[in-house]
Structure 1
C-alpha cells in the first residue's frame, strides 16, 4: 500500500488561478470600459494604455487618469468518475461509491470557489505635443484566493482504493495475530486546498503621433509573480469491523499488537532454548541408555519449539515492519509553499485612423522566466525549497477596428491570438495543446446624449485543448462565451463614471482516459535474468468533466486634467 505517498504528493499543488478573461495565464479585464465592451483594441481612450497604447496619443493634451475597481466571483467544478477493471463485479469496481458517489457510476462533483472583493487597476497618460507618456498597473494574471474545501478528484481517487487493498492484506495480518478481521466496506478523509496566484503588472511606455493618421508605441511591462498554496489531507479512514477507523491509529494498534506477539514469541523461544540446554546437559551426563534417550528427546523437542517460536517471531516482526511502513503512508500530510519570480514583457503598438475608421494592433512578446519555491512545509517532498519552475507568460497579438456608423454610434471588432505553445509551463505541459488560444471580440457603443454612453460586447474564447491531456483538476480552462454591458456617465466637467457587469459562460469539457494507480512495488525479471524493482500499478478508466463560472461587477472613474 505504498501508493499513498504518490497520491498525496500529486494532490497538493492546485493552481488556483482566478478571473482569467484572457489567455491561459492572462487577465485582459484591465478597465471597466472593457467589461462593458470587450472589443477595445480598435478604440481610442485612456483604457488604451493597456488595449491600444498607440491610440492614446490621439487623446487631448494634458493628463488622463482611469481608476478601476472590480468585484469578481468564480467557481470551478469537476465531475469525476473512475472504475477499476481488475475489481469488476465487486463493490470496489467504482470506488467513489464507497464515499458518497453516484450509485450508478460513483461520479462525484468537486467545487472550488474564488472571490476577489476588490481588484484594482489604473491607467494614466500625459500627452504633450505629439508625445504620450503612459503608465498602467493591474493584475495581468491570477488574483484572489480559490479554495476546494473537499479536495479534488486526484486527492480522492487513489485513497478510494484503500478498502480493496486493506481487504487484500487482512488475511495475512489476521493469521499473524490469530484474529478474525472484518473486511473494510467504505472510506473517508478530510482534505483542503487553497491557492493564490498574482501577476502584478506595471507597464511603462511612450507613444508618438507621427501625423494626424498614424501613431506608434513602444514600452514594457514589469511582471512580479507571487503564488501561495496551502493544502492538507487528514484523517484518512476506512470502515473496518463496522467502525470508522482512522487508518493511522488502526494500523498503529495492529503494529503494536504484532510487536507484542513477536516479543512474546521471542521470549517463548528463549525459554524453550534454555530448557533445551538444561535437558541437553542432563542427557550428556546420563549413563543409563534409556534415561539418556529420554532426556535427549526432550532436549530436541524444546530445541524444535525454540526454533519454531523464533521463526514465528521473525515472521510476525516482518509483518509489523511492513504494516508500520503502511501506517506512515496514511498519516496526515500538509504542504505550505509560496513562489516568486519576475520578468519583463516588451510591448509594441500601432494605430491608424482614417475617416470613420480606426485600426490598431498591439504585440506583447512572450515573457520567459522562472518562479522559485519558498517552502515552509512540504510533507509530500515534492516542492524542494529554492527549486525553480518555468512560468512563462504567453505573447499576445491583438488586432482591432472601430467604425463610426453615426456620430453617436460606433461598432468595434477585435481578434486576440495568444502564443501559448511558446510559453514554457511546469513539466512542459504546453506540448499537449493542440493549437494556440484565439479570441474573437465584438462590441457596440451608443451615446444616448452628451452625458450618457451605453455599450455592450461579446467575446468568444477558443482554447486548443486537444484530447484534454493539458487539463488536470489542479489547473484547467475551457472554451467560453463572455457577455458584458454597462454605461459611461458624465459626473463632472472633466470626469466620467464607468459601470459594467459581465459574465462568462464556460463549456463543459469531457476528458476520458486510461490511467494507473501506484499501489506498491514488485520485482520483475528482465530478459537478461536481472531482477528490477518497479512500481506496481492497477489500471483504471477515468472520466473528468470540467467547467467554470465567472461573474464580474466593476466601477471606474476617468478624469482628464
Structure 2
C-alpha cells in the first residue's frame, strides 16, 4: 500500500499545466513588440522598438517625443500524447500588449516601456493531462497486490471519468531608462526594470469504477481539485551599447541582469482519500501549496546584433541572444542547459510610405527529456515572420505583422519500475506546440 502512495505522488506531481513560450529561455519572451513577429532580428534596430531590443540606439532618433502602442494575438496549440490518447489545448489569445515612450533631446534619450516580458497564454486542457490519465492504469497494476488480502483487485475497473485543467504564467515588466550619445559613433544606455509575475493553476480529476471492500475502505473520495495562484515581484537592470561606425553599419549589445523572483502561493486544495490517506495536488507539487515561498527567476541574458544598409532601400540584420538559465533558480529544478537564439532578417523600403520586413529565428532552449513534464516542456523552435509598415505622414507609422512559430516535437521515454515485486509502467509522452501570431502597432511622434 505504501508503494501505491509513492506512485500516486509521482503521477500527481505531473498533473499540472504547461505554458507557451516563444523564446530560448524557459520563461523569458523576446517578442516584446509586434515588430519582432515581422522580423526577429531586432537587436541592432534604430527605432522606438529599440526600447525593447537596442535601447542605446534610440539616441539616433530625431529629436521629439514618441509613443508606441501595440498588441499581439494569435492561435496557440499545445499537445501531449501518451498511450494513444491526446491531451490538447487549443486557445485563442487576444491580448499581449506593449507601450513604449521615448523622449529624444540632443545627445540623450529617456525611455519607458511596459508589457508582457515572460510566460505566455492561458491554456485549457479540457480532457486532463497525461499525469491524471495514467493513474487508473497504475492503480490497476498495484491493486493486484491486494488480491491475497481482499480476494479481488479493487482497482481493476477504475477509469478517469472527467478531468480538466487550466493554467497561465504571465510576467509583466515596466522599464525606465536613459541613453547617452558619447560621440557620433558610440552610445550607452542603462535602465531599471520592475517585474510582477503570476503563475496560476486550477483543475480537477474525477475517477470511478473502484470496487469498495466491506472493510478497510480503500477509497473514501475519488476526486482531486486544485486552485492556486503564485505571485512575485522583482527588479533588474538593463545595460546597452551601440556602435555606428558609418551610415551603413550598426552594431549593438544589451545585457539584462537576472531578476530574482520569490513566488508566494495562495491556494486551496480538495484532496482525494485513498488507502485512508489524503492525496492532493498541492501535497506533491509544493511550490503551488498555500503559503509556499520559493524562487523562480528570470535568467540573465546577453543580446548581440548587427545591421547593414546593403542598398538605399534594403537593410539586412542578424543577431542572437544567450540565456544564462543554469544560473537561475527555477523552483529548484535541475537539468536545464543555457539556451540561445540566432536570427536573421531584412527590411525593404518599397517607397516613402511603405516598407516590408521578413525574418527567421532559431531557438535552442537547453531543455531535455529530464526537464519535460505536464507542467512545462520548453521545446526548440523556428520562427518565420513578415510584416508591413505604413507611414501616412512623417509623424506616424503603422505596423502589421504575422509569424508562424513551429516547435520541434520531443518525447520523454517511458519507465519501468519495480515496486514491491510488481512492475509498474510509466508510459512515454510526446510533446508538441505551435503558435500562429499576429501583431499590430501604431507609433506617433509629437
- Is 1:237 aligned to residue 208 of structure 2? yes
Structure-1 separation of matches of 2:422 and 2:235:
44
CA distance in 2, matches of 1:160, 1:189: 13
Deviation, 1:209, is 0.8
Cα offsets for 1:330-375 (capped at 9, x unmatched): 5211111111111111110000102210000000011122100111
Residues of 1 paired with 2:121 and 2:429: CA distance? 25
Specify the SS of the correspondent of 1:57.
Answer: helix
For each residue in 1:247-284, what CA deviation from the matched residue of structure 2 results, as whole angstroms up to 9, or x when unmatched? 3xx42xx4xxx3xxxxxxxxxxxxxxxxxxxxxxxxxx
What TM-score results when the alignment is normalised by the length of structure 2? 0.90
Pairwise CA distance, 1:155 = 1.3
* Aligned pair partner of 2:344 in 442, 445, 460: 442
Alpha-carbon distance in 2 for matches of 1:7, 1:21: 29
> Are positions 1:453 and 2:355 aligned together?
yes
Which residue is 2:180 aligned to? 208
Match of 1:405 in 2: 310
Mind listing any 5+ residue stretches in structure 2 that lack a counterpart? 272-279
Residue from 13, 36, 55 that aligns with 2:16: 13
Instruction: Give the C-alpha shift of residue 9 in structure 1.
Output: 3.6
Distance 1:544 1:12, change over 3 A: closer
Q: Offset of 1:19 from its aligned partner?
A: 4.6
Matched, 1:115 2:103: no
Q: Is residue 2:446 matched to residue 1:544?
A: no
Determine whether 1:387 maps to 2:292: yes
Secondary structure, counterpart of 2:371 in structure 1? coil
CA contact (8 A) 2:16 2:129 kept: no
* 1:477 partner SS: coil
Deviations, residues 465-522 of structure 1 (Å, cap 9, x unaligned):
34x101112210211110001110013341111000001111111222535487xxx7
Q: 1:336–1:378: 8 Å Cα contact kept in structure 2?
A: no
- d(CA) in 2 for partners of 1:21 and 1:43? 19
Q: How many angstroms apart in 1 are the aligned matches of 2:416 and 2:361? A: 36
Tell me, in whole angstroms, the C-alpha distance in 2 between the residues paired with 1:62 and 1:42: 21
Q: CA-atom RMSD, angstroms?
A: 2.2
Counterparts of 1:11 and 1:41, CA distance in 2 = 37
- 1:354-373 to structure 2, matched below 5 A, reads 354-355=245-246, 356-373=248-265
Q: Are the counterparts in 2 of residues 12 and 232 from structure 1 also a CA contact under 8 Å?
A: no
SS in 1 for 2:297: coil
User: Matches of 1:183 and 1:539 in 2, distance apart?
Assistant: 14
Report 1:339-378 matches (<5 A). Answer: 339-355=230-246, 356-378=248-270
Q: Aligned in 2, Cα 1:455/1:183: closer, same or farther, shift over 3 Å?
A: closer
Are the aligned partners of 1:115 and 1:146 in contact in 2 as well (CA < 8 Å)? no
Spell out the pairing of 1:49-68 with structure 2 (5 A cutoff): 49-68=51-70
Distance 2:240 2:374 in 1: 37
Partner of 1:420: 325
**Distance across 1 between alignment mates of 2:410 and 2:115:** 30
Which among 408, 419, 443 is matched to residue 558 of structure 1? 443
CA distance in 2, matches of 1:159, 1:7: 14
Query: What is the aligned partner in structure 2 of residue 156 from structure 1?
Result: 133
Question: How far did residue 194 of structure 1 move?
Answer: 0.5
Shift in alpha-carbon separation, 1:421–1:19, aligned structure 2, 3 A: closer
Output one character per residue of 1:191-216: Cα deviation in whole Å (capped at 9) or x when no partner. 11110111010011010111111110
For residue 41 of structure 1, report the CA deviation from its aligned partner. Answer: 0.6
Q: How many residues align?
A: 429
In the alignment, what sits opposite 2:387? Answer: 486
CA distance in structure 1 between the aligned counterparts of 2:259 and 2:417, rounded to whole angstroms: 36
TM-score calculated relative to the size of structure 1:
0.72
Contact 1:19 1:72 in 2 (8 A): no
How far off is 1:12 after superposition? 4.1
Distance 1:32 1:166 in 2: 54
> Any conservation in 1 of the 2:197–2:232 contact (CA below 8 Å)?
yes
2:165 to 190, 193, 199: 193
- The answer to whether the 8 Å contact 1:508/1:546 transfers is yes
- Contact preservation (8 Å) 1:158, 1:517: no
- Asked whether the equivalents of residues 402 and 410 of structure 1 are also in contact (C-alpha less than 8 Å), the reply is yes
Q: Distance in 2 between matches of 1:73 and 1:22?
A: 20
Please state whether the residue corresponding to 2:361 is helix, strand or coil: strand
Residue 197 of structure 2 corresponds to residue 225 of structure 1: yes
Between the aligned partners of 1:132 and 1:432, the Cα distance in structure 2 is 41
Q: Offset at 1:547?
A: 1.5
3-state SS, counterpart of residue 439 of structure 1: strand
Unpaired segments of 5 or more residues in structure 1? 82-106, 176-180, 239-246, 259-319, 523-535
For residues 219 and 115 of structure 2, what CA distance do their matches in structure 1 show? 48
Larger helix proportion of the pair: 1
Higher strand share: 2
Asked whether the 8 Å contact 1:80–1:108 carries over to 2, the reply is yes
* In 2, Cα distance between equivalents of 1:369 and 1:517: 39
If you compute each CA radius of gyration, which structure gives the higher value, 1 or 2? 1
Matched residues in 2 for 1:405 and 1:368: separation?
A: 42
- Secondary structure of the residue that 1:55 maps to in structure 2? helix
Structure-2 separation of matches of 1:183 and 1:68: 54
